Structures are given as C-alpha cells and as structure tokens.
Amino acid sequence: MSSSIEELLADGEEVQVRTSPSIMDSSFVKSYVVASVLAIGIFVVSVLPIQLPFNSLYLNVLLVFPLGIVLKSEIERRFIKYFVTSQKVIERRGILSQTTESTMYENITDVKLSKDINERLFDVGDLKVNTAGHDGATIRLRGLKDPEQYKRTIENNINRAEGSPQPGQQNSFGNNDMGGSQDDLGGGLDNSDLGGIGDDDDFGL
C-alpha cells in the first residue's frame, strides 16, 4: 500500500520542493522519438499507393505499439517523485511496488550536476547526490527543470545542517529556509500539460 510523504517526515520537518522528471529528460525524449518515428512510418506506408501483403486495416492496429511506448514512458515518469525537505533528500518511484530512498544532509558528501546536449537546450539536468559510508549510496535526481536551483537549495541545506541556521536565509526557490515550502509540480510544466504532476494522491492507486 502506498503511503503519504508526510509519513516519512520527522517532527518539524517540512517539504521545501517536490517535483518529478521533466518531459524533456533525455531517457523519455528517446522513447517519444522512437514512438513518433514508428507512427510516422506506419502512416506513410498506409497512404502510399503500394500493394500490401495484408489488409491495410492492420496498419491501424500497429499504431498501438508507438502509443504503448508513450504511455509506458509517461506513467513511469509520473510515478517518480523527488522531495527536498528541510532535513533530507527523498526519491520515490514505483506504482504497485514503491521504492523510497533518502539521505540526511549531514551524510551528503557532494552534489554533482550533469547535462547532455539535449538537456542543455531545454535547461534540464541530473543531480547526483553522493553520501558518506561504505555502501557509497547515491540518489540521482534526473530530468530536473532548472537543476541549478535544486542544487543551490540542497547545498544551502547542507551548509545549514553543518552549522547554525541564519534567520531569514532564503533557498533558491524564494522560500525562507526556516520554514517556507513550495511545490514545483511537473518539472516546470503546468498541470494541464502532459507532464503535469498531481498532489501526493499520485502515490495511491
């Protein structure tokens, strides 16, 4: 059974940012491109004046395959959730079977930002959050829209966890680090867009 994100929070801990991978994340873009090429190919074959060895109506059935690729990628994307709280970073993924990973700021050793060529065009990138310990655990927040803001927010929280908090200090999303919170739904897309992300109810079925 899925659980609300609030169950993972300690007393006084607040969610500063919540988001999911952007629709422009490279892994999802590749799926959409493959689906588009298949759909265009099927359409072209259906309109060409050539004799097919089978009924042309079967081509319409083949359109299910590119549609299935898009639906699979979109469902996967919508059920990947990232949370930046006042005490830790959380990654949750999965529909029926959910996997949740988190790390406290005092355990984070560094935060690395990476972008490929496609992601640079759309200001999308991945954050690799490395932690201390023998297991070398890593949380990867991929496909973030405007990833520099997330990186600065996490680094500000790390600095605050290592020292005394400064009253009135703001995170990169314009919130007060001492208690403000903000939702970044859909990786920078509106709820009406294909990449819109819902409330915490998305975790339920």
Confidence of residue 169 (pLDDT cuts 50, 70, 90): low
* pLDDT value of residue 3: 58
pLDDT tens digit string along 14-46? 999 999 999 888 888 888 899 889 888 877 777
CA-wise closest residue to 85 among 191, 205, 180, 199: 180
- Indicate the residue type of 14: E
Confidence of residue 186 (pLDDT cuts 50, 70, 90): very low
Is the pLDDT higher at 176 or at 137? 137
CA-wise closest residue to 122 among 9, 11, 17, 22: 22
Rounded to the nearest integer, the mean pLDDT of the chain is: 77
**Cβ proximity of 171 and 153 under 8 Å:** yes
Strands (E) located in 20-98: 80-85, 88-93
Q: What is the pTM of this model?
A: 0.68
Query: Domain 13-22+81-190 - what CATH class?
Result: mainly beta
pLDDT of 199 over the 80 cut? no
What mean pLDDT is predicted for residues 44-64?
Answer: 69
Of 48-57, 110-119, 123-132, which gets the smallest average pLDDT?
Answer: 48-57
pLDDT tens digit string along 102-112? 999 999 999 99
Bridge partners (DSSP) listed for residue 124? 145
Rounded Cα gap, residues 158 and 86, in angstroms: 10
Work out the number of other CB atoms within 10 angstroms of the CB of residue 138: 12
* pLDDT value of residue 50: 67
